[in-house]
Chain A
Amino acid sequence: MRKKTFPRGTHPPEYKHYTEGQRLEKLEPPEKVFIPLNQHFGKPADPLVSKGEEVLLGQKIGDSDELFSATVHSSVSGKVLFVKEHPHPLGSPALTVIIANDGKDTPHPDMKGTKDPFSLKPEDIRSKVRDAGIVGMGGAAFPTAVKLSPPKGKAIDTVIINGCECEPLLTSDYRLMLEYTKDIINGAELVRKAAEAKRIIIGIEDNKRDVFELFKQKMNGFPGETALLKTKYPQGAEKNLIYALLKREVPRGGLPFDVGVVVQNVGTAKAVWDAVSSGTPLYERAVTLSGPGLKENKNLLIRIGTPFKHAVEYCGGLKEGANMLVMGGPMMGLAQWNLDTPVIKGTSGLIVWEEEAFPEEFPCISCGRCVSHCPMGLVPTRLMNYSRHGYYQEAEKWGVLDCVECGCCQYICPAKIPLVHWIRVGKNAITSMKRKKKS
C-alpha cells in the first residue's frame, strides 16, 4: 500500500523502544494537587472555589464566559488549600487551585453517564464536551468544543483522528490506541456526530503497524477508514496531516474547518467518549515518562495537577547526570525549571535528558537545509534574521505567523542557530504590536 505523506519535514531518531512495551499504569494521586486555571489556548478560567472549600472528584473548579476558554475540574476530592500563583509549565507562574487530597476520591454527583450516547443531538454532545473541559490533547490544548462548532456556512465533511504521534520518544498515544481502541473509535464517532461530518479517517504512522491493523478490524461498522502514513516529523501537525490524507491545503491564517475538516487527537477522542458515556470530565491523561535521565521509563495515567516530582519519583527518580527536563516531546517540548510544576491537560510527556554539552551557535552558512525541511514551506533563516534585527513587518510578510514551531529547521541546522526561538521572538513582537494597535 502506498503510504500517504506531506512534502518536506524530517525524520529524527525515534527512541520509542524505551517505553513502547510499557502498559499504561494508573499513578496514585499525590497528597496535594496543583490545578492551574490556564491549561488551554484562550482565556484562563475564573476560579469557582475559594480557600477552605471542600471539593469532590470531578467537580468544576474553574469556568469562563468566553468562547475561547475551557472549564477546569478537580482531579481529587479534598479541601482547597489556596487559590494562588504557582509555577506553570508554560513559563510564568499562573493562578492555580491547590487542593489537599483526602484520598477518598469521592465522585461528584454531576458525573452521570448517558445510556445511549450515539442517539444524542450534536448540540448535546458539544455542551457535554464543553462541560467536561476537554481540550486538544496533542499539546496545543485548543478547546475541543470550539473546534466542534464551526462558524455558519462552513460545513465539515471529514473528521480526522490523529494517531500519528510523530514526536520521538513519546508513546502515550500509542498505548492509548492499543489499550483503549474501542473508546477511541466510539469517541471519534461522537466527534463525527457533533461536527455533523460524513466520515472519519484515522491516521496512523507506519511505525505503529500493529495499531493500524487493530483499528482496521475494529472500524467495521463505522463510516470511515484507517490510513497508513509515512513515519515522518511533523506528520501529526494538523495542517500537514490534512494535506497528507486529503491533499487539501488550509489557507494562510485559516483553520481546518476552512477546508471542511476537524482534526482530533486520539487522546481527545477517548476523553470525548469518557465525558459523554460516563460523564467523567477531563481530570486524567496519559503521559510518557522517558529519556536517558530517568531511572525507569514508564507510561502513566496521571491526574491533572500532579507535580512532576511525584511522577518522576514513581519512575525511580532522576539519574545523577540528569540536567534537563522537557514537558512534551523533544522537538516541540518546553524546558522546565521546577519539579513542583504540575502536569496539565497538554502534557503528553516528560522527557529527562543527560546532556554533556549544549550546542554552540555558529554563523549561518546559507546551506538552505532549513528551507528544504520546513513543512510549512517557509524560509526559516530569513525569518530568523528579520526577527533578530527587528524587521518585524518584513518577517510578517515572509510568513512568520504561519510558522507552527515544529522545530524541523533548528533540528536540521548544521550551525545550531536557535531558529525557533528567534521566530517566536518575532511572532511575539508582531502580535503584541497588533494588540497595541487595537487598544
Chain B
Amino acid sequence: MQFLIPILTLGLLGLLFSIGLSFAYQKLKVEEDPKVEAISEVLPQANCGGCGYSGCRAFAEAVAKGKAEITGCPVGGEDVSQKIARIMGTEAGKAIKKVARVHCRGNTKAAREKGIYLGITTCHAAHIIGGNKECVYGCLGFGDCVRACPFDAIHMGEEGLPVVDADKCTACGKCVDACPRDIIDLQPVSQNIMVFCRSLDSAAAAKKACKNACISCGICVRACPEAIVLENNLAVIKDYKKIDPEKIPAIEKCPTDAIGRITKEENHEG
C-alpha cells in the first residue's frame, strides 16, 4: 500500500497546480493586438531607431495604438507604409523620400588646415579641441557619419568629404546625430538647390579659411529674394518651394560655389 501514498500526493498536488494555472491564465490574460504582430512582420527589422522608437517592435506597437504615423518608418519607405496601411485599414498617403545632405564643401583642396593634427582621428575628438581646420563650422573629415550609418549609404569621398548614396540612404538620421558640427541634415531627395556652407564667419575670415565658404556677398539673395536670405553672414534658403527654376542659373553664379545645384559626385551618381 505504501506505493500509493506518493502517487496520491503527487497526483493531488498536480491537480491543485493545474487548477491554479488555468485560473491564472483566465484572470491574468493579456490581450495583444493582432495588428502589432502583423505590422511587425512587414517592417524591415533593421532596428535602426530611425523612426524615433527603440526598435521595429516598439514602432509596430505605437502604430497599432495610433501613436505613430503609418509612414513613420524611413527605411521601408513607401512600400512598407502601403502594407501597414492595409493592415490598419487606412490610406497611407504619399510619403516624401528624404536623404541626408552634407552642407560643407570644405574639401582638402578648399579648406585650410591649421597645423598637423596628431590627435585621435574621429570628428568628435577633433571637435572638442577646436578641430583640424581653420574653419570651425565645416566638416572635419574623419568620418564619424560614415561609421554611424547602419545602411552603408555614406562614404568618405576622395576629397575628404562624406558622400551620401541617395539610393541607399533611408533618412534614419544616425549621421545627423553623429556629426559634432551639425552640417548634415535630412532633405527631400528632389531638392537639388542647397547652401553648402555653415560658416558664420565674416566674409574675410571665411574666405581665408576656405575657398568654398559663403562670403555673404548676396548674389543669390538678389537673384531670388523671395526664397533666400542672409542670416549671420550666411545665405539661408527659407523656402525651397518658392525658388523659380528659371532663377537657378542666377543663383548658381555664386563666386565660391557655396550655393547651387548638388553635383553628380555629391549625389553619388557619377
Show the binding face of A for B, using Cβ within 8 Å.
84-85, 90-93, 323, 334-335, 337-338, 358, 418, 421-422, 424-425, 428-429
Contacts and interface: CB of A to CB of B under 8 A. Distances in A.
Nearest to B132: A337
Contacts of B205: 85
B136 A93 contact: yes
Contacts of A421: 119-120, 125, 129
B114 A428 contact: no
Contacts of B66: none
Nearest to A338: B114
Interface string B195-212: 000000110010000000
Given A92-B136, A338-B114, A425 B130 contact: no
Contacts of A422: 120, 125
6 contacts: A84-B202, A92-B136, A358-B118, A425-B128, A428-B128, A429-B124
Residue of B122, B129, B201 with most partner-chain A CB within 10 A: B129
B120 A418 contact: yes
Given A90-B130, A421-B125, 5 more contacts: A84-B202, A91-B131, A92-B131, A93-B136, A323-B116
Nearest to A417: B120
Interface in B89-118: 114-116, 118
A85 B3 CA distance: 95
Nearest to B128: A428
Given A337-B114, A338-B114, A425 B136 contact: no
Nearest to B129: A91
A334 B114 contact: no
B120 A425 contact: yes
Residue of A90, A91, A418 with most partner-chain B CB within 10 A: A91
Contacts of A429: 124
A385 to B, nearest CB: 13
Nearest to B116: A323
Contacts of B201: 85
A425 B122 contact: yes
A425 B131 CA distance: 13
Contacts of B119: 418, 421
A423 to B, nearest CB: 11
Nearest to A89: B130
Contact of B130 (A85, A92, A323, A428): A92
A418 B120 CA distance: 7
Nearest to B113: A337
A84 to B, nearest CB: 8
A429 B125 CA distance: 10
Contact of B124 (A84, A335, A425): A425
B129 A334 contact: yes
A335 B118 CA distance: 10
B136 A428 contact: no
Nearest to B124: A425
Contacts of B115: 337
Contact of A428 (B118, B120, B124, B131): B124
A48 to B, nearest CB: 22
Interface string B174-188: 000000000000000
B116 to A, nearest CB: 8
A91 B125 CA distance: 12
A334 B202 CA distance: 27
A81 B120 CA distance: 38
A429 B178 CA distance: 11
Interface in B122-154: 122, 124-125, 128-131, 136
Q: Which 7 residue pairs of A and B lie closest in terms of their CB atoms, listed nearest first?
A: A91-B130, A337-B115, A337-B114, A92-B130, A428-B128, A425-B125, A91-B129
Contacts of A425: 120, 122, 124-125, 128
A323 B116 CA distance: 9
Contacts of A93: 136
A283 to B, nearest CB: 26
A323 B118 CA distance: 12
Nearest to A336: B115
A161 B117 CA distance: 37
B61 to A, nearest CB: 25
Interface string B69-101: 000000000000000000000000000000000
A424 B128 contact: yes
Contacts of B122: 425
A85 B201 CA distance: 9
Residue of B119, B128, B131, B205 with most partner-chain A CB within 10 A: B128
A84 B128 CA distance: 22
A334 B115 CA distance: 14
Contacts of A84: 202
Contacts of A358: 118
Nearest to B205: A85
A338 to B, nearest CB: 7
A316 B177 CA distance: 48
B122 to A, nearest CB: 7
Contacts of B202: 84
Contacts of A323: 116
A232 B2 CA distance: 82
A369 B132 CA distance: 31
